[in-house]
Amino acid sequence: MSGRLTRDTLTLAERNLIRLPRNPDMLLAFTVQPIMFVLLFAFVFGGAIETPGFSDYIDFLIPGMIVQQIAFGGFTTALGLAEDMTKGLIDRFRSLPTARASVLAGRTLADVATNLLSVAILLTTGFVIGFRFDAAVPEILGGIALLLLFGYAFSWIFAVIGMSVSSPEAANGVGFILVFPITFISSAFVPVESMPAGLQQVAEVNPVSTMVDALRALWLGGDMGNSLWLSVVWCIVLIALFAPLAVRKYRLSASA
């Protein structure tokens, strides 16, 4: 059974990745859009933002921008599941001799590949405008692994969203409303200390903030504090919460 599940998961993940180049809107979201955001923040807003402890705003920005992009990476799962359910493809998958869990597993696994592409694009853009690592290879690879775990956790959140709405457009709107605020009320783009009381406390416990702080510590040195293990804990908690919810939604849709 495990061998069959693995084969079916890899097949469906491949199917989801093959479809990506045929969808220009989604392709732009993983290529042009991240570059545009980096350049906008670095050269339009960067000069007005003070980042104590960092010699250049670009060093402060790139880890935060990558975490934001990874958080939004699960949109492909939400949109894909919503579209497949609308078109009846999920019912077709159920009629085939495939492992039931492979539909969701294949979706979230494909997100790992697209998130890796996003990391590569943003790091390349960062290098072009002046970002540099101040860490050894193990710390750099550890940061990338942590990012992929974070993106995998958010993929399950988006899987629940995709199976809870009536259309891909609704999935896009709901996902944006839920995820956009937590990426900005965080340490991703400005120091938390610069925020007013109330928002600062929210930002300090935000999983995006702990992830960004851990990534900066791994890639740029500095005090790690509790950010690394808190980031891992957040990822495990999100997966433990939303993966069962996604499976339950999938089963309920089968009996509907």
Of the chain, the end-to-end C-alpha distance in Å amounts to: 26
180 pLDDT higher than 70 = yes
Please, what is the average pLDDT of the chain? 85
Q: Is the pLDDT of residue 253 over 70?
A: no
Q: According to the model, what pLDDT value does residue 254 have?
A: 56
Write the pLDDT tens digit of every residue in 206-239: 999 999 999 999 999 877 888 999 999 999 999 9
> Between residues 172 and 23, which one has the greater pLDDT?
172
Mean pLDDT throughout 6-32?
A: 76
| pTM for this entry | 0.89
Residue 87: exposed, middle, or buried by beta-carbon count in 10 A (0-12, 13-18, 19+)? exposed
pLDDT above 70 covers what percent of the chain? 91
Distance, CA of 161 to CA of 158 (rounded, Å): 5
Q: Which residues contact 18 (CB under 8 A, 6 or more apart)?
A: none
pLDDT digits (tens, 9 = 90+) for 92-143: 766 666 666 777 888 888 888 888 988 999 999 999 999 999 889 999 999 9
**Structure-model confidence comparison of residues 68 and 101, the more confident one:** 68
pLDDT at 219: 94
Q: What is the mean pLDDT of residues 173-198?
A: 88
Q: What is the predicted pLDDT for the residue at 94?
A: 66
Average pLDDT over every residue of 147-153: 93
pLDDT of residue 51: 82
Percent of the chain at pLDDT above 90?
A: 33
Nearest to 151 by CA among 122, 116, 196: 116
pLDDT at residue 63 greater than cutoff 90: yes
pLDDT of residue 149: 94
**Furthest CA-CA distance within the chain:** 58
Say whether pLDDT at 29 is over 80: no
